Amino acid sequence: MIQLKTMLNCIDNSGAAVVECALIVGQKRHATIGDRFVAIVQKQRGASDAGMGAASAANKVKRGDIRHAIVVRTKKKVQRPDGSVVRFDDNACVLINKSGDPIGTRVNGVVGAELRRRKWSKILSMAPTHA
Amino acid sequence: MLTHTTARRPLGAWKSVLRHARQQRPTPVSLLRTMTTQTTPDTPSAVEPPPPPMPAATPKPSPPKPYLHSLKPQRPNTPTRSTFAVYPRVPSSRALTPAPLESYHAQQVRRLDRKGLRTRLFSKANPDAAKPGDVLQVTTKRGEPFAGVCLSIRRAGVDTAILLRNTMTKIGVEMWYKIYSPNILGIEIVWRRPKRARRARLMYMRQPKHDMGNVDHLVSEWRRTRNVFSSKGKAGKGKDASATGAKGRR
């Protein structure tokens, strides 16, 4: 249930750590797993532990960037066609570019299996596990 | 770890000893092996579900016969109508016809769970039933089996569902499964909580203080013990044997 101003964890290695939802692409009230939204990078990864200069060299996105992203985990329960329901402990996303390819090269953490139904199998294959 | 302690001090855990004794009783081999709910490999199209109980089949009560009630005429010289029929009360149809929703649920459960194993695994009457706090593993038709600690059992006829929680890559994942779903091949008890949980819904286990974390070590240990009992010759193979044991479930 991602809506305007929701803060999500970004779990790829694009350089963003926390992003904020600015708009949900499509005529939707809330985004769920597999939905695309416009994200603003609020926190950069490695900005705190490493120096800003060292981090920004590897990071593809910077704080304040506006990118598209795909929701991969939600705290809100998501029901599957067979009646089972999945729920995660956090909201997480993966950044993509305008054409739909992931910006990062790897995904750290479990993602929802709904991505296959929503035709995001590229993200699904990058993830270590899916539930 | 728990199994070793109980093996060393059998009197230390009365509950598991009694459970063991119950399972030593002459039971069918399928029941003796473990408390599983594997479905038979029969094709659903080949077998027809039993016909639903027909409410119309019950013999229809014939209309009750009235009897004539006569009044004593108070004024004998003026003729009044002094006799009329009294009809007895019609018996309630509620007692005769089965409750439609309950019978429908029972019929669907019978259709989806032919041997009654899943009903037994979660029935309150069964002392060996799966309870909240136990670690269960659900094997589905597609994807990997999901193991997790059972947080709650939602009993609702054929819609009965269980909530399992596990931690994958440091993220908590919760899954609701319908226990009678035909997509579920089996539900197995991986680990029993040593003491009965004193709540029916263990939602507090979402808090970091009470979270069990990942249950994969329990699952791998359970697989190892199961392989020791099931295949005598291949027990020494270790990793390979456990991998086939995980996949090659009949």
Q: Where are the domains of chain A?
A: 7-126
Residue A115 φ/ψ, nearest 5 degrees: -60, -30
Q: Which pLDDT does position B53 carry in this prediction?
A: 54
Specify the range with the lowest mean pLDDT, choosing from A93-97, A120-124, B8-12, B174-178.
B8-12
* Residues of chain A found within 8 Å of residue B210, distances taken between Cβ atoms: none
Give the pLDDT score at B32: 44
Bridge partner list, A23: A38
User: How far apart (Å, rounded) are the C-alpha atoms in residues B59 and B185?
Assistant: 41
Q: What residues form DSSP beta bridges with A102?
A: A96
Q: Closest approach of chain B CAs to the CA of A118, in angstroms?
A: 17
Q: Which residues of B touch A88 (CB under 8 A)?
A: 171-174
pLDDT score of B44: 47
Averages of pLDDT over each 10 residues, chain B, 250 residues: 50 76 67 52 51 55 76 75 83 85 94 94 94 96 93 95 95 96 95 94 95 94 83 45 37
Q: Are A112 and A72 in contact (CB under 8 A)?
A: yes
Contacting residues of A for B148, CB less than 8 Å apart = none
Any chain A CB within 8 A of the CB of B176?
yes
Residue B17's pLDDT is what?
Answer: 81
Pair type for strands B184-191 and B135-140: antiparallel
Instruction: Look at A83 and B181 and tell me if their CB atoms are within 8 Å.
Output: yes
Please, which pLDDT band fits residue A35 given cuts at 50, 70 and 90?
very high
Taking residues A7-21, report their average pLDDT: 95
Q: Taking CB atoms and an 8 Å limit, are A77 and B176 in contact across chains? A: yes
Kindly give the pairing relationship between strand A92-96 and strand A7-10.
parallel
Identity at A55, one-letter amino acid code: A
> Which chain B residues are closer than 8 Å to A128 by Cβ?
169
**Domains of chain B in sequence order:** 33-39+100-213 (2.30.30.790)
Nearest CA of chain A to the CA of B2: how many Å? Answer: 29
Q: How far apart are CA A21 and CA A35, in angstroms?
A: 12
Q: Give the E-state strand segments of chain A in sequence order.
A: 7-10, 16-24, 36-44, 66-73, 78-79, 85-88, 92-96
Which homologous superfamily is A7-126 in?
Ribosomal protein L14/L23 (2.40.150.20)
